[in-house]
Chains A and B, each alone.
Chain A
């Protein structure tokens, strides 16, 4: 059976990436090591802050369109989703669907060499969970 390995990353939504990065560095002690501008044609920019075997991904919408922007409008700033690393994404997606969960088809992640699928929040007690497989 497919297995979960770790928390790959935690996504945090923000209105102001530069200010959020300054606060996370000064107040929590986490520093960015990579930034993406509108990856994969998305309407957002994202920064990565490594911590242990995981990272935080701070995301700011830069265009008023797209899946992230629509959810951001509703939910505002703060914790947005959790990404869990899985050893076999396709096997996990079909297993979860058999168990009655609603899961999106796998697609490329904005981070290189990774694919992800999203579990619907109704199946997870309100948490946006992504499953991610790294090559």
Chain B
């Protein structure tokens, strides 16, 4: 069962330029920066209340994030909800026949994560995440 917005993911062409606005102008604190090679993104996580804003820059022109930006431009990419038990939630979703991108949870920036197919929510890419501190795999 989800209990809060974990983060809102934003696709950007240039992470450093995006930080000029989100960190330096809006004044949000960057609590993590990371590159996830197999997902083809360099990311910054900025804290806001109990949630985060995740800025995602493609690491190569072949990365999915680069293709998203080519198609739709920079902007909102996905929304991630926190859950104490991503694996349990995935089982429930599979039983219900909900359209999924990931059949099993995997390591992501937010912890153990999975993506639902946008069809499941009329065009919104939804991610579920259990932070590593709370994950009992």
What is the interface of chain A, defined by CB distance below 8 A to chain B? 1, 3-7, 10, 12, 14-16, 19-20, 23-24, 26-30, 51-54, 76-82, 84-85, 96, 99, 101, 121, 123-128
Q: Quick one: which of B58-83 are within 8 Å of A by CB? A: 73-79, 81-82
CA distance A84 to B5 in the complex (A): 13
Q: Which are the 10 A-B pairs with shortest beta-carbon distances?
A: A6-B49, A52-B4, A126-B75, A126-B74, A77-B123, A79-B76, A78-B123, A27-B120, A20-B122, A125-B74
B25 & A125 in contact (Cβ 8 Å cutoff): no
A79 & B79 in contact (Cβ 8 Å cutoff): yes
Listed by A's residue number, 5 A-B pairs whose Cβ atoms lie within 8 Å are A15-B122, A28-B120, A28-B126, A51-B3, A78-B118
Q: Quick one: which of B1-48 are within 8 Å of A by CB? A: 1-5, 8, 10-13, 17-18, 21, 25-28, 48
Q: Quick one: which of B83-120 are within 8 Å of A by CB? A: 93, 96, 98, 116, 118, 120
Q: Please tell me if B133 contacts chain A, counting CB pairs below 8 Å.
A: no
B79 & A10 in contact (Cβ 8 Å cutoff): yes
B25 & A99 in contact (Cβ 8 Å cutoff): yes
Q: Is the interface of A mostly helix, strand, loop or mixed?
A: mixed
Chain B nearest Cβ from A129, distance in angstroms: 9
In the complex, chain B residues whose CB is within 8 Å of the CB of A14: 122-123
Q: Which residue of chain B has its CB nearest to the CB of A9?
A: B5
B10 & A84 in contact (Cβ 8 Å cutoff): no
In the complex, chain A residues whose CB is within 8 Å of the CB of B93: 27
Q: Please tell me if B121 contacts chain A, counting CB pairs below 8 Å.
A: yes
A6 & B48 in contact (Cβ 8 Å cutoff): yes
Given contacts A20-B121, A125-B75, 5 further A-B contacts (CB under 8 A): A4-B27, A26-B96, A78-B118, A125-B12, A126-B12
Q: Which residue of chain B has its CB nearest to the CB of A123?
A: B21
Q: Which of A54, A81, A125 contacts B5 (CB 8 A)?
A: A54
A7 & B25 in contact (Cβ 8 Å cutoff): no
CA distance A127 to B82 in the complex (A): 22
CA distance A30 to B1 in the complex (A): 10
A52 & B120 in contact (Cβ 8 Å cutoff): no
Chain B nearest Cβ from A123, distance in angstroms: 7
In the complex, chain A residues whose CB is within 8 Å of the CB of B120: 23, 27-28
A51 & B4 in contact (Cβ 8 Å cutoff): yes
Contacts A14-B122, A54-B51 given; does A82 touch B76 at CB 8 Å: yes
Q: Which of A3, A54, A124 contacts B21 (CB 8 A)?
A: A124
